[in-house]
Amino acid sequence: MEKVRLTSLVRSSGCNAKLPPGDLHDVLSSLPPFHSDRLIGGYEAADDALVYDLGNGRVLIETVDFFPPMVDDPFLFGEIAAANALSDIYAMGAVPAVAMSIACFPSCLELSVLREIMMGARSRTDEAGCVIAGGHTIADREPKFGLAVTAVHDKDKVWTNSGAKVSDVLVLTKKLGVGILMTASKGGECPEASFNAAVSAMRTLNRTARDSAVDLSVHAATDVTGFSLLGHASEMSEASGCTIAIDGSAVPVHDGVHDLAMFGFLPEGRYTNEDYIAEKVAFSDSTGQTMKDILFSPETSGGLLLSMSSFDAEIYLERMKGSAWIIGKVLERDGKPVHVL
């Protein structure tokens, strides 16, 4: 069987395929609100998953995420898609329990490709201790895959994006630049070492990032995906009623990303993200265009962004052993939701 290049079958890939955030906001804000005494958190708060009160001190946490491939290897694509979907549960401080798969698959491809995608997803859910118990598949011109994931968690231990406190520091657990690297890869211009590092990051679960923080005081949390670091930081800032200050020089970036951004290998989502959130961000004069490109670019299966005390952050960084970075701080609300220093 001839090896298929999955990325040649799609127009967009990964979390870059998300609907532009401005368009999504317009649709959601036009809908009548959904009322339920048991719905603690829904889409209105722009949190990573819904939270439904079971009435016994426990809550149901649910999320769904799927997208087109950003890599050609079907198994790797399944791993990345699953890790990305599971991340929303980890960002709520919970542990994924059960999932259902969502697959769109072209009839022109061998079914062995679909099997490899599903086996890749299975490898990630097995590591997470999560069971894939079913799903739904349709024929489509472009391949897409993801998961709907459910967790059950203690009501008083749920993380949200709305509790950031003044004097907290912000901690990020994966490097940025995946969207730029995958764009360059599709054009055949991504260095092999940089591509491999990005794939390794995307297929890595945020399980350790979550587990290393559960006994610390995490005041607010989210994960960094399609709406970019600035987009998700802005959501946290607005939900918490504070200003988030990001130190651009402290933000970790994959090797090769700066050069590729300078040469224009920028995902489309970089521009739709800026269109939506530019007015919410104040940049210092020292912030160069390349850094703006990186901060606005979508990530796929990105890291957790945590707001916690500086004391707890130091403990956390020690536990994470070089896989977490302090990138900013939380300030009193001051004009714009996000400042880049």
Catalytic residues: 15
Cα distance between residue 272 and residue 252, in whole Å: 23
Exposed / middle / buried, residue 319 (Cβ in 10 Å: 0-12, 13-18, 19+): middle
Which structure tokens are listed for 224? Answer: 């960094």
Cα distance between residue 6 and residue 311, in whole Å: 45
Cα distance between residue 124 and residue 244, in whole Å: 33
Exposed / middle / buried, residue 264 (Cβ in 10 Å: 0-12, 13-18, 19+): exposed
Say whether 120 sits in a helix, a strand or coil.
helix
Say whether 222 sits in a helix, a strand or coil.
strand
- Which residues fall within 8 angstroms of residue 65, CB to CB, at 6 or more apart? 81, 84, 85, 88, 146, 147
Cα distance between residue 302 and residue 305, in whole Å: 9
Beta bridge partners of residue 41, listed in sequence order: 51
